[in-house]
Amino acid sequence: MTENTRNFDNEAASWDDKPDRVKLAADITFAIRQNVPLSTDMDVLDFGCGTGLLTLALQPYVRFVTGVDSSRGMLAVLQRKINQANLANVKTVLLDLDRGDRLSGSYDLITSSMTLHHIPDIDALFCEFHRILKPSGLIAVADLDPDDGQFHSDNTGVYSFGFDRIMMRDKLARSGFQRISIIDAAHRGKTLSDGSTRQFCVFLATAQKQATGTLRRDCD
C-alpha cells in the first residue's frame, strides 16, 4: 500500500452504517435505473463496488453482476451479503488497477459509484472499460462535481477533487465512447470542518462504446 492509499479495509465493517452514504448509493441506483435500459440479459461489472450498495441494488434487474474492488475487506462484506441472500448472480473479484491488474470478462454495462476520484489515471480506466465492453456496451459512472477537496475530511487516496463535466465528456469521447450524457444523480449535504454545511452534487455519466475500428485517441 502506498502512502497516498486510503485503507478501505479498515472502513469495510462500518461502511454501511452511514445513512447518508446508503441514501447516496440508492439515489445513484435510481438515476441509473432511470437512464439505462437494464434487462435480464445483461452482464454488469460494478467497478469499485465496495460493500455492494450499488451492485446488489442492480442485481434483480440484470443477469449477472461482477463486483470488482481492490479492498479485501470491502469484498468480504459484499460476499457475506451474497451468501446470506443466497444470490447466484453476483460474484466478487479482487483486483487493483494501480498494481497493474487488468479487468477481465465481457460486459454489457459497467457501473461505478463514487470510485473514480480514488483512481489516479482515469484515462487508462476508461480505456480498460472500453476494452472489456461488448460492442455497443454501456457505462454508467457516478462521481462528484468539483468539490474543492471539501467532500472528504481526509483526502488521503483522493486523486481528483471532483470532475468538471466538460472535461469528463472529453475524456469519455477520447476513450472511444459516444452518446455521452451527464446529469445530476444525487446531492449529499455535509458539515465541513469549520462547522458550515455544503451540498455536494454527484453526476451520472452514461455513454456507449463506439463501434469497433473507431479511432480512440487516448487508448492503445
Ligand X SMILES: C[S@@+](CC[C@H](N)C(=O)[O-])C[C@H]1O[C@@H](n2cnc3c(N)ncnc32)[C@H](O)[C@@H]1O
Q: Which positions from 72 through 111 interact with ligand X, judged by CB under 6 A? A: 74, 96-98
- Nearest Cα neighbor of 54 from 204, 176, 216 is 204
Determine the Cα–Cα distance for residues 150 and 139; give it in Å rounded to an integer.
Answer: 27
Cβ count near 125 (within 10 Å): 22
For position 45 contacting ligand X by CB under 6 A, the verdict is no
Which residue shows C-alpha cell 460476499? 79
Q: What angle do CA 134, 139, 141 make, to 5 degrees?
A: 155
- Residue closer to ligand X by CB (options 48, 176) is 48
Q: Are the C-beta atoms of residues 176 and 210 closer than 8 Å to each other?
A: yes
For position 54 contacting ligand X by CB under 6 A, the verdict is yes
Determine the Cα–Cα distance for residues 197 and 192; give it in Å rounded to an integer.
Answer: 6
Q: Which positions from 114 through 143 interact with ligand X, judged by CB under 6 A? A: 114-115, 118-119
Least distance from ligand X to the Cβ atom of residue 217, Å = 24
* Grid cell in block for residue 87: 444470490
For position 66 contacting ligand X by CB under 6 A, the verdict is no
Of 46-54, 57-65, 188-196, 206-214, which part binds ligand X (CB under 6 A)? 46-54
Determine the Cα–Cα distance for residues 208 and 201; give it in Å rounded to an integer.
Answer: 23
Spell out, one character per residue from 5 to 24, where the chain touches ligand X: x when CB under 6 A holds, - when not. ---x----------------
Residue with smallest beta-carbon separation from ligand X: 50
For ligand X, the binding residue among 29, 66, 70, 92 (CB under 6 A) is: 70
User: Which residue ranges make up the site for ligand X (CB under 6 A)?
Assistant: 8, 25, 48-50, 53-54, 69-71, 74, 96-98, 113-115, 118-119
